Structure 1
Amino acid sequence: MDLTWLDSNSWLWQIDGTRILVDPWLVGPLMFGQTPWFFKAQRPYDRPIPENIDLILLSQGLPDHTHPPTLSQCDRQIPVIGSVAAADIARSLGFSQVTALKPGENHTWNNINIQATLGSPVGPNRYENGYLLQGLTSKTTLYYEPHGYHDPQLQSPTTVDVVITPLVSITLPLLGAIIQGGVAALNLAQRLTPTYMIPTAGAGELEFSGWLTRLFQADGDLDQFQEQLQIAGLDTQVLQLNPWESRSLDPTPLRQP
């Protein structure tokens, strides 16, 4: 299993030889609507679309996960799997092989089993996706949820090898956590007992502006979270990647009993 963090919530995963581009935002600014005065994020320079992508996986329909300018630079023949909202956007951009998954649904693509899990709430009785992936050859498993909203029904029959989720909470005054790390991540670790936990939703090279960004507050840090895992009696190791750093995790030791 090879993992490359592309900053923010963008990832490149290689599982059993399949290259999966996840929630890509690589070019242009990020805004929610045309409101740069409220929130704007951008990279110091555009990044190239990784080559030889076999599958695009989208967790949410929001632009920090389904980013139209980035997807517009991808080959429209690449298969896409996403939440219902993300799949609708992918189709509107001209992707020809799009599969929408609702929480609880499974899909096997090539040699990867993909289970959609209940993710972030986006309205009354509306949720986006987390994902539990398993390589059918190596049997290695990876769980991903980018905002820290974990399916209460999610249980693993065996140890999950890698969890990618926020480990530190980001809060706003009066609203509380908008990205849930901390306690939510620790509870998840106790349920899934992963070998590794890797943070996402970070800002390695990103530049932020706008009124909203002045209110962001981080609660905790990765060293504190590693200590909490140890206090809980877990052997889980926290790994932190730099932007565009790749980490190879050999499935053989991951699967040792």
Structure 2
Amino acid sequence: MYLTWLDSNSWLIELAGKRILLDPWLVGNLTFGNLTWLFKGYRHQERAFPESLDLILLSQGLEDHAHPETLKRLGKAIPIVGSPSAAKVAQQLGFSQVTALKHGETFTLDHLTIQATPGSPLGPMVQENGYLLKDLASGVKLYYEPHGFHASTLKENAPIEVVITPLIDLALPLVGSIIKGTESALELAKDVQPQVMLPTAAGGDIMFEGLLLSVLKAIGSPDEFRAKLAENNLDTKVLEPRPGDRVEISLRPAAIVP
């Protein structure tokens, strides 16, 4: 397995012989509803688009996961799998092969399965997706959820060798944590016993500005999370790849049960 972090929530996953582009924001600015005064993310240099993609995977329909400007520049024949809201965005942008996955549903691509899990709630009526990917040949699993909202049923799939999720909290006054990492990720580690965890939703080479930044509060750090793992006798390794670096994920062989 190889993972390449492309800033923010954007990843290139190489698993089961497939190249999957996850939640891509590679070019242009990031805003929500064009409210640049409230929040704006930008980069000084566009990130190169990965080649030879087998699939685009979208966890949410919001701009930081289904970034319209980035999606417009990707080939419309590339298959897309996404939450129902993300699938709607992809269809509106002209993609020809779009699959909407509801919670519990599975998409199969040769020797790779992708199961949608309950993810981040966006209001009372919408709950977006996390994803559990499995290489059917090796049995290796990878789980991704970008806001730290994890289904309790994930423990039924333990062990999950690789987890990509926030390891810190981002909180708003009166609202609380909009990204949950400190305790949520620790409980997840206890439940699914990952060998490797990687933080997502961090800035990387991206700059942010706007009124929202003045009230957002970051709580925790990857080093503090490592300390919590050690306190709980968990040998999970935390990796922090640099943006653009292709990292090989080395895993221990699965334990043989007599």
What are structure 2's unaligned runs of at least 5 residues? none
Task: Tell me the CA shift for residue 241 of structure 1.
Answer: 1.0
Q: Distance in 2 between matches of 1:123 and 1:249?
A: 36
Q: Which residue of 2 aligns with 1:83?
A: 83
Instruction: Please give the TM-score of this superposition, normalised by the length of structure 2.
Output: 0.96
Asked if 2 retains the 8 angstrom alpha-carbon contact of 1:26 and 1:49, the reply is yes
Q: Are 1:161 and 1:254, in contact at CA under 8 Å, matched by a contact in 2?
A: no
Residues 254 and 25 of structure 1: is their aligned pair in 2 closer, same or farther, counting only changes over 3 Å?
Answer: farther
Matching residue's letter, 1:19: R
Name 1:3's counterpart in structure 2.
3
Q: Which amino acid aligns with 1:6?
A: L
In structure 1, runs of 5+ residues without a counterpart are none
Match of 1:15 in 2: 15
Give me the whole-angstrom Cα distance separating, in 1, the residues matched to 2:158 and 2:173.
39
Opposite residue 142 of structure 1, the aligned amino acid is: L
Report the residue type matching 2:89 in the other structure. I
Verify: 1:255 aligned to 2:254, yes or no: yes
Q: Which residue does 1:245 correspond to in 2? A: 245
SS of 1:154's equivalent? helix
Give the 3 Å change call, closer, same or farther, for CA 170–254 of structure 1 in structure 2: farther
Matching residue of 2:162:
162
CA distance in 2, matches of 1:219, 1:94: 40
Output aligned runs, 1:122-141, within 5 Å: 122-141=122-141
> Number of residues paired by the alignment?
256
TM-score if structure 1 supplies the norm length? 0.97
- Structure 1 distance, partners of 2:157, 2:90, is 33
In structure 2, C-alpha distance between the alignment counterparts of 1:15 and 1:109, rounded to whole Å: 11
**Which residue of structure 1 lines up, in the alignment, with residue 144 of structure 2?**
144
Q: Which residue of 2 aligns with 1:61?
A: 61
User: Is 1:200 matched up with 2:200?
Assistant: yes
Greater shift after overlay, 55-64 or 37-46?
37-46
SS in 2 for 1:155: helix
Deviations 1:68-119 (A, max 9, x none): 1001110100000000000011011111111000111112122211110000
**Counterpart contact for 2:167–2:180, Cα < 8 Å:** yes
C-alpha deviation, 1:156, in angstroms: 3.5
Q: Which amino acid aligns with 2:52?
A: N
CA–CA distance in structure 2, aligned partners of residues 95 and 192 of structure 1: 35
Give the C-alpha shift of residue 256 in structure 1. 4.6
Whether the aligned pair in 1 keeps the contact of 2:158 and 2:191 (CA below 8 Å) is no
1:185-224 equivalences under 5 Å are: 185-224=185-224
Please, which moves more after superposition, 128-137 or 211-220? Answer: 211-220
Tell me whether 2-11 or 203-212 shows the greater mean CA deviation.
Answer: 203-212
Task: Please tell me whether the aligned partners of residues 9 and 65 of structure 1 are also in contact (alpha carbons under 8 angstroms).
Answer: yes
Could you say which residue in structure 1 is the equivalent of 2:37? 37
> Hey, what does 2:48 align to over in structure 1?
48
Partner of 2:99: 99
| Contact residue 195 and residue 254 of structure 1 kept, 8 A | no
1:88 aligned partner, one-letter code = K
* TM-aligned CA deviation for residue 254 of structure 1: 4.6
Task: Summarize the Cα distance change of 1:209–1:22 in structure 2 as closer, same or farther, 3 Å threshold.
Answer: same
Q: 1:254 to 1:208 in 2, by over 3 A?
A: farther
1:226 aligns with 2:226: yes
User: How far apart are residue 152 of structure 1 and its match?
Assistant: 2.2
Once residues 255 and 78 of structure 1 are traced to their aligned partners in structure 2, the CA distance between those partners, rounded to angstroms, is 34
What is the SS of the residue equivalent to 1:4? strand
Which SS does the other structure have where 1:197 is aligned? strand
CA distance in 2, matches of 1:219, 1:32: 23
Please tell me the residue identity of whatever aligns with 1:50: P
**How many percent of aligned residue pairs carry the same amino acid?**
50
Q: Deviation per CA, 1:168-195, whole angstroms, max 9, x where unpaired?
A: 1111122111110000110111110100
